[in-house]
A and B are shown apart, each in its own frame.
Chain A
Amino acid sequence: MYSLPIVLEATLNGLLTGAIYALVALGLTLVYGVLHIINFAHGAFLTAAMFAVWMAVTFLGVDPYVAIPFLTIVFFAIGYGAQRFVIGPASHGDDGNILLVTLGLSIVIENILLAVFRADTRTITTDYAFEVVEIGPLLISQARLYGFLAAVVVSGLLWGLLTRTDTGKAIRAVAKEKLGASLVGIDVRHIYAVTFGLGCATLAVAACLLMPIFYVNPRVGQAFVLVAFTIVVLGGMGSIPGALAGGLFIGVVESLTGLFFGDSLGQIGIFIIFILVLLLRPSGLFGARA
C-alpha cells in the first residue's frame, strides 16, 4: 500500500482542486437556487472565461491572478446581459424554456470559441507553475495553494454578499417568494440578472485560478460542469455551504480514487458517490428535506 505522506499529499491536493470545483459549483447552485433551473450554459461560460484568461496572458502579458478583478467584472456584465436581454426575454417566464435557452446558448458559445480558437488545446506558462511549498514532509503546488486560498476568499465574499447586503437578501427573497419580493419593491428581473451575473463572475475567478494548472480547449468546461453538477446535488440543490463542502469532498474523492486505482479512473469515484447520494440522500447533505 501507499505510505502515509503520499496519501496525505493526495488528500491535500484533492482539497486544493476541490476548492476550485467548489467555485464552479457555487455559481451553478446560486443560479439554481434563484432561477430553479440548471444553467446548461455554465460550462460554456467557464470555457469562455478560460479563453479570456489565456488571451490576457498570451497577448497582454497579464498574470492570471492579476486578471481576476478585471475579468470578474467583465463576466458579471456578460452574465447580467445574457440573462436580462437573452435568456429572460426568450423564455417568456417559463422555467422549462430557460433550460432550453441556456442549452442553446452553450452550443452557440462553444461553436464561436471553436471557430475563433480552433479545437487546439492551449496552456499558459507562468514562472510559478512548478514552484512548490513544503509543509513538513508534504510538497504542495504553489499555484494550487493560491487557487485554494482565492476560492475560500471568494466564497466568503459571496456569503457576505448574500447575508449582509440588501441585494443579497433580495436574491434570497426572490429565490423563495417572487410575489412577496415584487410587493416590497424588488425588481425580480433585475435580481435574476444579478444572480446570473454573479454565477458568471465566480466562473471568471475559477478560470483565472485554473489556467496556471490546467489547459483550455473549446469543450473543457463540460468536464468541470459535470463534476460541479455532482457537487450541487451532493451538497443540496441551491445550498452554498453545500457547494463548498461538496466541492472539497469531491476533490478529495477524485484525488484518492486516482491514487489507488490510477489517474484515468479518478472520476469514477465521483460518479459512484453521485449515485450513492441519489439513492441514500436525494436532498443532498445540506439540502432542505422534501
Chain B
Amino acid sequence: MLEVRGLRAGYGGVEVLRGIDLSVKAGEIIAVLGSNGVGKTTLNKVLSGVLAADAGEMMFDGRPLQGLSPAEVVEAGLIHVPEGRKIFPNMSVRENLELGSYRRARRNRAANLEKVYATFPRLRERMGQAAGTLSGGEQQMVAIGRGMMAEPRLLILDEPSLGLSPLLVEEMFALIQRLNAEGLPIMLVEQNVVQSLEAATRAYIIENGIVALSGEARALAADPALRRAYLGL
C-alpha cells in the first residue's frame, strides 16, 4: 500500500528525517511512535506533499508520491488528519465535513455524510455549530470525519489522542480499531506508546529521524529496551 525507503527531509538545511524506511500493507494499523521532535510530523508533511523530500522514495499503491502536490496526494486517496486538527473554526461542522470531499469522493458526499454522522452521532447534533466552538474531543471527531469524507485508501492520523481526556482517548482508540475493522488501513502517529501498541498490528519507533526499532506491535510491547525507554519500566 505505502512503501517508504530512505526518506530524507528537513527545513532549510536542517535535516529532520535522516533515512526513514517503513511500509503499510492493506488492512493494517501501523503505529509510528516516538517522543516530541523526532520527526513524526515532518514525515506526515512529506507524505502529504506539504513539504518536499530531499531524497528517498515513497510509493503509494505502486505510484510514486514524490513531486505530487497536496491536492494530488488527496486525489490518490492518501488522507492526512493533521496534528492539532486544523479544522476550519469559522465554518459549521457540516461545512467542514463537506470540504472533506472537496477533491475526492464528491459524488458520494451525501451518503458519506450520513456515514460520518452514524459514526459520530454527536456531530449530527452539532451540525450547524461553528467548529471552532466545539470541545477538543468533538473537534477531533470533525477532523477524522472530514478525513473519512474523502473515502481514504489510507488514513494517516497524527496525534489523534493529543489533548483528550483519558476516557476520550479510550474512545478514540476504539474508534480507530473500528474504522480499521471496516477495511481501512491506518497509519497512527502517536506519542501514546502503550495504547498505540495495543491497537496496532505493527509499529515503528523513530528516534532522531531514523527508525530505531520496528516489528510486530505485541513483540515490541514486550521488548525490554522499549519498555525502559518509553514506559519507564
Bound pair: A and B?
yes
Does A154 have its Cβ within 8 Å of any Cβ on chain B?
no
Question: Does the CB pair B71–A173 fall under 8 Å?
Answer: no
Instruction: Please name all residues of chain A whose beta carbon is closer than 8 Å to the beta carbon of B90 when the two chains form the complex.
Output: 172, 175-176
Least Cβ distance of A283 to chain B in Å? 15
Contacts A169-B91, A173-B91 given; indicate if A183 touches B99 (C-beta within 8 A): no
Shortest Cβ distance from A179 into B: residue: B86
Q: Is the CB of B102 within 8 A of A183?
A: no
The answer to the question of B202 belonging to the interface, with a C-beta cut-off of 8 Å to chain A, is no
B103 touches A182 (CB 8 A): no
Q: Are B99 and A166 in contact (CB under 8 A)?
A: yes
Classify chain A: how many residues form its interface, as a range.
Answer: 10 to 19
A-side contacts of B71, CB under 8 Å? 182, 185-187
Q: In whole angstroms, what is the CA distance A184 to B102 when docked?
A: 7
How far is A172 from B95 in the complex, measured between Cα atoms in Å?
A: 10
Asked if residues B82 and A179 are in contact (CB atoms below 8 Å), the reply is yes
Asked whether A169 and B99 contact (CB < 8 A) given A177-B88, A183-B80, A184-B150, the answer is: yes
B165 interface residue (CB < 8 Å to A): no
Residues of A contacting B39 in the complex (Cβ-Cβ under 8 angstroms):
none
A186 touches B86 (CB 8 A): no
Decide: B100 and A176 in contact? CB cutoff 8 A. Answer: no
**Complex interface residues of chain A between 121 and 150 (CB less than 8 A to chain B):** none
- How would residues 41 to 63 of chain A score, 1 for a CB under 8 Å from any chain B CB and 0 otherwise? 00000000000000000000000
A177, B89: Cβ atoms closer than 8 Å: yes
A141-173 near B? 1/0 per residue, CB < 8 Å: 000000000000000000000000010011011
Contact yes or no, A183 B82, CB < 8 A: yes
CA distance A177 to B139 in the complex (A): 14
Interface residues on B, range: 20 to 34
Task: Please classify the interface of chain B as helix (H, G, I), strand (E, B), loop, or mixed, using the class held by over half of its residues.
Answer: loop
**Does the CB pair A180–B50 fall under 8 Å?**
no
Partner of A176, one of B75, B88, B146: B88
Whether A170 contacts B99 in the complex (CB less than 8 A), given A177-B86, A187-B69, comes out as: yes
Complex formed: what's the CA distance from A176 to B90 in Å? 7
Give, as a whole number of angstroms, the nearest-CB distance from B90 to chain A: 5
Tell me the minimal C-beta distance from B31 to chain A in angstroms. Answer: 21
Partner of B74, one of A170, A172, A185: A185
Interface readout for B91-126 with A: 1 if CB under 8 Å, 0 if not? 100010011101110100000000000000000000
Q: Tell me the nearest residue of chain A to B104, going by C-beta.
A: A185
In the complex, chain B residues whose CB is within 8 Å of the CB of A184: 74, 99-100, 102-103, 146, 150
Within 8 Å by CB of B82, from A166, A172, A180, A186, lies: A180
Q: Are B102 and A176 in contact (CB under 8 A)?
A: no
Say yes or no: A183 contacts B87, CB within 8 Å. Answer: no
B82, closest chain A residue (CB)? A183
Q: Is B48 located at the chain interface by the 8 A CB criterion?
A: yes
- The answer to whether B69 touches A183, judged by C-beta atoms less than 8 angstroms apart, is no
**Residue among B75, B89, B102 with most chain A CB within 10 A:** B102
Which 10 pairs across A and B sit closest by C-beta, in order of nearness? A185-B103, A180-B86, A185-B74, A182-B70, A185-B71, A173-B88, A176-B90, A187-B71, A179-B86, A177-B88
Could you list 25 A-B pairs, sorted by A, with CB under 8 Å?
A166-B102, A166-B106, A169-B91, A169-B98, A172-B91, A173-B91, A173-B99, A177-B86, A177-B88, A177-B89, A179-B82, A179-B86, A181-B99, A182-B49, A183-B50, A183-B70, A183-B79, A183-B86, A184-B100, A184-B150, A185-B70, A185-B71, A185-B102, A185-B150, A186-B102
Given contact pairs A169-B91, A183-B70, a sample of 9 additional A-B residue pairs in the complex whose CB atoms are under 8 Å apart: A169-B98, A169-B102, A173-B91, A177-B88, A179-B50, A182-B50, A183-B80, A184-B99, A185-B103
